Structure formats: C-alpha cells, structure tokens
C-alpha cells in the first residue's frame, strides 16, 4: 500500500524558519508566514503494510514531525540560497528515508498551483518538473461519415455547427538529470511550449485553423496526443525527456498522454 501525506511550509527569504514556533495553522503552513514568503507543499509517499490492529501504516503526525525536522531545514536553506529546486530533492529524500520507518517511494515539491517537482527514489539522478499553461480555442466535434442525427446523439451540444470554445489548461511534465546549473531551465521549457503549442492553438478554431485536426476530431484526447507529439523533439533538443502531457478541457475533464 502507498500512503501519501502533504506537509506545508512557509519559507522566508530573510531568516531561517522558526522551528520552535507554535503550530497554530498547519493547514495553511508551518512555520507561519513572516512577511513576504513562499508557501510550498511537500508530498511524501511511502510504501508498506498497515498494522492489522490499528489499520495504520504510520501516524500522519509522525510523518509531519519527520518531514519538518529533516526536510524543512534543507528546503529553508535552499530557498534562501536561491539554488535550483531540483538540487534540494535528493538531499530531502535521503533525509526522509533515513528517518521514516517505511521505504520512501517519492516526494513532490509543489511550489505553486502551476509548478511542481517530482522525485522518485528509484531514479535518484533525475527529477521531473511539471509546469502549467493555458490557451483559448474553439472546436466542433463531428464525424463527416455519420449523419446529422448520429452526430447529434454522440456529441450533443459539442456538435454545434458554429463550434464552441474552451479555456484549455495544459500541464507539461519533463524529466531531466539533476545538475547545477539545471539540465533544463524553466524558461527554456516555457519557450518550447509557447512556440510549439500555445502559438499554434491559442485563439484558433481547431477544426479549420490547425492542420492536425483537419480530418481528426479535436477531442480532448486527440488534442493531448497532438500536443505531446509536437513537444517530444523540441524538449529533447534542450536536454529533457517529455514524460507526459495532461490537457484540461474543463475543471472536470482532462486527458493524459501517454497514459
């Protein structure tokens, strides 16, 4: 079984975290925010068998205590030094693994709603970072070889002849070697995604303006696959490996490729 626990921190660029301050609002962050700060989350994933009596693998309070005692000082120092986030991942994982009573599988450092860094213990020299982007586009779901009634039955309002629009959100996950300076910089990834995806799709009618969808329905599944294929080589050219693309059509619907 895997158990996941998220611990939240508030890091100050000026002074070290107050490790002895009261835990008044651990839901938001601890240590508490002091002026301008960075609120980050650390997801810890461990594996093991729950105790048959208690049903617990480990108390989440114990995970929190270990994370704050071992990971927080490393993250705090890295934040104030201004180093690459990926450089802190391996030391944090090693510190956690030395204290946790069950094997650590992975950690995810969540810097914001738009950027996160993933580290697997089984791949100690690599990190995967995920950045979010958005674009607005319209499309129509329609199959030319089906009659109007069948198209309407399958696609409903999405078959509207004039099309309809979405504010799409795309998450791009890239794996790279951990090194200083970083193998792939965030600004490089953002430029690659802008040039190869956003500029091609933003404020376009996908059926008529994008050649890839001239004969293929621009469903959320197909858009995710096309975006992935557009990005594989450009990301490789800057030193990374495209792991996956996740495309959100609405807050309730997304497609991940490869799955």
* Residues known to be catalytic: 158, 203, 249
Residue 138 tokens read as 């319209």
Identify the residue whose tokens are 């990190």: 127
């Amino acid at each position: 079984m895997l158990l996941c626990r998220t611990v939240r921190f508030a890091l100050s660029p000026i002074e070290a975290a107050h490790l002895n301050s009261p835990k008044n609002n651990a839901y938001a962050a601890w240590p508490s925010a002091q002026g301008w700060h960075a609120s980050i989350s650390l997801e810890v994933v461990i594996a093991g068998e729950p105790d048959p009596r208690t049903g617990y693998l480990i108390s989440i309070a114990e995970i929190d205590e270990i994370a704050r005692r071992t990971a927080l000082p490393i993250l705090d120092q890295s934040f104030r030094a201004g180093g690459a986030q990926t450089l802190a991942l391996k030391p944090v994982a090693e510190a956690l693994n030395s204290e946790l009573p069950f094997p650590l599988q992975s950690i995810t450092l969540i810097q914001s709603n738009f950027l996160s860094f993933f580290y697997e213990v089984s791949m100690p020299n690599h990190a995967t970072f995920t950045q979010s982007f958005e674009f607005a586009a319209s499309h129509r779901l329609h199959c030319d070889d089906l009659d109007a009634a069948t198209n309407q039955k399958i696609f409903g309002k999405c078959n509207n002849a004039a099309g309809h629009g979405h504010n799409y959100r795309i998450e791009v996950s890239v794996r790279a070697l951990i090194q200083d300076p970083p193998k792939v910089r965030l600004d490089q990834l953002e430029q690659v995604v802008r040039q190869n995806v956003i500029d091609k799709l933003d404020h376009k009618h996908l059926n008529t303006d994008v050649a890839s969808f001239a004969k293929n329905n621009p469903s959320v599944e197909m858009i995710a696959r096309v975006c992935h294929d557009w990005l594989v080589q450009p990301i490789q050219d800057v030193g990374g490996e495209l792991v996956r693309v996740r495309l959100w059509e609405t807050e309730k619907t997304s497609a991940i490729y490869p799955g």
